[in-house]
Amino acid sequence: MSIERNGHKNRLQLLEKIDLALHAAVKAGHKIMRIYKSGEFGIELKEDRSLLTLADKASHQIISELLKQRGLPVLSEEDQLIEYPLRKNWDCYWLVDPVDGTKEFVNRNGEFTVNIALMQNQTPVAGVIYVPVTQELYVGVQGEGAYKIETDKMDIRFAAMKEQGLKLPVSKDKSVYTVVGSRSFMNQETKDFIDTLRKDYPNIEVLSRGSSLKICMIAEGKADIYPRFGPTMEWDTAAGHAIVKAVGKNIYQLDTGSPLEYNKQNLLNPFFVVK
């Protein structure tokens, strides 16, 4: 097979995986919304004191069952007991946060998402983020760009998003430098970082958002920078990382300046900045 034909085949296989991820994210979003509207969250505390709800469990089950059809392993927040020796040699896998922003879900402010990333050689090559409350669907694919659309259709495909959706990023008012931060986590280090930015950007606007919506704002062009001086896990960032990469931006480790790394022995992310 020629290199050109092989490349075409690989692209088709990649887009088939993305279509599956889009379907899984929206289907999980439907289930999450049924639980959200019922008010029966079944809240538990995990060992690390983070929240777990019926929505996390149901979304995880739906997404895992669908994604495993492709024969690739799935690493989900609710599967975090998969030991490093079992996953360290994975060259292609799914990285999933069934409900990113569980605290926002419980607080009923709508700022939670479903995150699905396709990982290749420890790098996010495609990402899907769905916002169940607003029905906003984001997708970013290496070499294909990033798009956004509002939909509740479970049969949505990447080709339709390219044709009907909004291509990212969109233009932004350059006279205002917009910093986006966590709605649930704004510490002194973050405030100090923003104060440092004021030296170069005196006209600063600071916004707060929950979950991976902050990364989506960077990809969309609605914000210029997102500093994170607090704990996050790989599944919190992977899908958004793929989307910002698809628009020519990145997530950089604050200590080294290099992009975030994945499938580490410890799945905890270092502090980072998205720009």
At residue 1, the pLDDT reads 44
Cα separation of 175 and 177, whole Å? 7
Please, what is the average pLDDT of the chain? Answer: 93
Task: Spell 52-66 as b/e; 16+ CB within 10 A means b.
Answer: bbbbbbbbbebbbeb
**Tokens 């690989």 — which residue?**
10
Q: Where are the domains of the chain?
A: 3-168, 177-274
Residue 248 neighbours by CB under 8 Å, 6+ apart = none
Query: Which listed CATH number (2.60.120.650, 3.40.50.10470, 3.20.20.80, 3.30.540.10) goes with 3-168?
Result: 3.30.540.10
At residue 172, the pLDDT reads 81
Cα separation of 229 and 40, whole Å? 33
Cα separation of 134 and 178, whole Å? 22
In angstroms, how far is the first alpha carbon of the chain from the final one?
40
CA dihedral 193, 264, 250, 93 (to 10 degrees): -150
For residue 12, with 0-12 CB atoms within 10 Å meaning exposed, 13-18 middle and 19 or more buried, which class applies? Answer: exposed
- Report, as ranges of residue numbers, the positions in the chain whose pLDDT lies below 50: 1-3
Q: Which of 73, 65, 71 is nearest to 95 (CA)?
A: 73
pTM of this prediction?
0.95
Fold designation for 177-274:
D-Maltodextrin-Binding Protein; domain 2 (3.40.190)
At residue 80, the pLDDT reads 66
At residue 5, the pLDDT reads 63
At residue 124, the pLDDT reads 98
Q: At what angle do helices 234-246 and 213-220 cross, to 10 degrees?
A: 10
